[in-house]
Chain A
Amino acid sequence: MTRSLKGQVAIVGIGETPYYRHGKSPDSEFKLALKAILAACADAGIDPRDIDGFASYGDDRSETSRLAAALGTRRLRSSTMQWGGGGGGCCAAVANGAAAIVAGLADCVVVFRSLAQGEHGRFGRTTGIDTISGEKAWLMPYGVLAPPQRFAMRVQRFMHEHGVRQEALRAIAMASYHHAQSNPRAVMYGKPLDVEKYESSRWIAEPFHLFDCCMENDGAAALILMPAERAQAFGDKAAFVLGAAAGSDHRFAAAPHNGPAYASANYRTVAPDLFRMADMGPGDVGVVQSYENFTGGVVMALAEHGFFAPEDANDFLTLDNLIAPNGRLPLNTSGGNLAECYMHGFELVLEAVRQVRGTSCNQARRNDVALVVGGPMVSPVSSLLLGSEATR
Chain B
Amino acid sequence: MKETRTSPYYLPAGLPVPVAEPDGLSAPYWQGLRDNRLLVQRCAHCDTWQFGPEWICHGCHAFDPAWTEVAPRGRIYSWERIWHPSHNALTSHGPYLAVLVELPEAGHVRIVGNLLGDPLQTVTIGSEVEGVFEHHADADPPYSLLQWRLCSAVSP
Contacts and interface: CB of A to CB of B under 8 A. Distances in A.
Interface residues of B, number: 40
B87 interface: yes
Given A137-B26, A141-B17, A145-B86, A256 B78 contact: no
Given A142-B113, A149-B98, A132 B80 contact: no
A262 B143 CA distance: 29
Interface string B67-94: 0000000000111111110111110000
Contacts of B26: 133, 137
Contacts of A104: none
B132 interface: no
Interface string A341-369: 00000000000000000000000000000
Q: Across chains A and B, which 5 residue pairs bring their CB atoms closest together, nearest first?
A: A146-B86, A132-B16, A137-B18, A152-B80, A157-B78
28 contacts: A124-B86, A131-B17, A131-B19, A132-B16, A132-B18, A135-B52, A138-B18, A138-B111, A138-B112, A141-B11, A142-B113, A143-B15, A143-B86, A145-B15, A149-B80, A149-B98, A152-B80, A153-B78, A153-B80, A153-B98, A156-B80, A157-B78, A157-B100, A202-B83, A202-B84, A203-B95, A205-B82, A258-B109
Nearest to B20: A133
A144 B11 CA distance: 11
B87 A145 contact: yes
A135 B16 CA distance: 13
A257 B84 CA distance: 21
A143 B21 contact: no
Interface string A135-165: 1111111111110110011101100100000
A206 B80 contact: yes
A129 B143 CA distance: 16
Nearest to A204: B84
Nearest to A129: B16
B154 to A, nearest CB: 23
B51 interface: yes
Contacts of B58: 251, 254
B11 A205 contact: no
B43 to A, nearest CB: 15
B98 A130 contact: no
Contacts of A138: 18, 52, 111-112
A127 interface: yes
Contact of B18 (A126, A131, A258, A262): A131
